[in-house]
Amino acid sequence: MDLFVSILTLVGVAALIVGLIWLIVNLVRKKPLRVPGIVSAAGALLVIVGSLAITAIEQQQVNATEDTTYSAESSASSESKSSDSKVYGLNEQYKNDMYGLKITQADQNFDDHGMSLVNGDIPTLKVSQQNGIQITVDYENIDSSEGFLPSIWNFKVYDDDGKTGEIINQQEGQDEVSKGHIGTTHFWVNLQKPYADTKYIEIEYGDIQFKINLNH
């Protein structure tokens, strides 16, 4: 189609030039002007039609390029959103350019500090024997010049009914790690129902989501 339009335009230009020369010659020689006038007009018409057709084709190509670019950007955006919305399981690490997080424990295998909270007498710091759970997090400083330590108050924990768990104001392992290093921290949560009746918990850290199936 592009070749045909180009040929049509070239024919129109040639006809216009020939017609104009013929018209000038006939004017000088005082001969009839009808035929060269028709040739010139036909050539001009072909040039106009060809130019319009070329413009339309070029616009279609621009639109096609824009559609392809938009489609690629939409695909990249969708992939990015899909990556951002991924839900991580136990021992699956989330990473960005700055830091990484991995949940390595979510159960009732309490360490010594956890047991002291289970057996403690301070109501606000007491971990429930039935509803309590210990969560362990590995955190990595990937490329931050400042030390990295996730605060327990940046986490939110939900049971399988979507109900918020109560985070106990205790965090074991509060070392900020420098670039290229990994730390481990523990914290405790009282769920809204017994651990034995809970199939899974959801943990959020900002926009990062974990879903941990519980082993009973």
In this structure, are residues 128 and 110 in contact, taking their beta carbons and an 8 Å threshold?
no
What tens digit of pLDDT does each residue of 20-31 get?
675 566 566 666
State which H helix or E strand residue 117 sits in. Answer: helix 112-118
Place of tokens 């030039």: 17
User: In the chain, what is the greatest distance between 2 CA atoms, to the nearest angstrom?
Assistant: 122
| Mean predicted confidence (pLDDT) in 2-27 | 60
Task: Give the confidence band of 60 by pLDDT, cuts at 50, 70, 90.
Answer: confident
**Over the stretch 104-154, which tens digit does the pLDDT of each residue have?**
999 999 999 999 999 999 999 999 999 999 999 999 999 999 999 999 999
Query: Over the chain, what is the mean pLDDT?
Result: 82
Confidence at residue 103, expressed as pLDDT on a 0 to 100 scale: 98
For the full predicted model, state whether its pTM sits above 0.85. Answer: no
pLDDT for residue 18: 61
Q: Is the pLDDT of residue 80 over 50?
A: no
138 DSSP β-pair partners: 102, 184
